């Protein structure tokens, strides 16, 4: 993996890979949204079509930063 050695380069809390006890930073995207529903190229669709209304949740280092009000995990 390209990012697996990022902790060595950056130090601190940057891990660069997923593990059961490691914090992760990610967003949860609604792929049932009309502009993303029938995509053939995921990355291109996220870049050119996705908007803020398509984001359901945002997490940084395992902490919830924002959660769509009607959504609960």
Does a structural domain hold residue 27?
A: yes
State the chain's mean pLDDT as an integer: 80
Question: Which residues constitute the domain of residue 60?
Answer: 19-67
Does a structural domain hold residue 63?
A: yes
- Pair type for strands 55-60 and 26-29: antiparallel
Does a structural domain hold residue 3?
A: no
Res 7 pLDDT > 80: no
pTM of the full structure: 0.65
Is there a contact between 35 and 44 (Cβ–Cβ < 8 Å)?
no
Domain count, the chain: 1
pLDDT digits (tens, 9 = 90+) for 38-66: 888 988 998 999 998 999 999 988 889 99
Buried b (16+ CB within 10 A) or exposed e, 2-39: eeeeeeeeeeeeebeeeeeeeeeeeebbebeeeebeee
Res 10 pLDDT > 50: yes
Does a structural domain hold residue 5?
A: no
* pLDDT at residue 1 in the model: 40
Res 17 pLDDT > 70: no
């Amino acid at each position: 993996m390209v990012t697996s050695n990022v902790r060595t380069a950056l130090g601190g809390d940057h891990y660069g890979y997923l593990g059961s006890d490691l914090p992760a930073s990610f967003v949860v995207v609604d792929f049932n949204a009309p502009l993303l529903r029938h995509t053939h190229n995921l990355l291109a669709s996220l870049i050119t079509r996705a908007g803020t209304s398509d984001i359901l949740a945002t997490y940084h280092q395992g902490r919830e930063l924002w959660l769509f009000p009607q959504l609960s995990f």
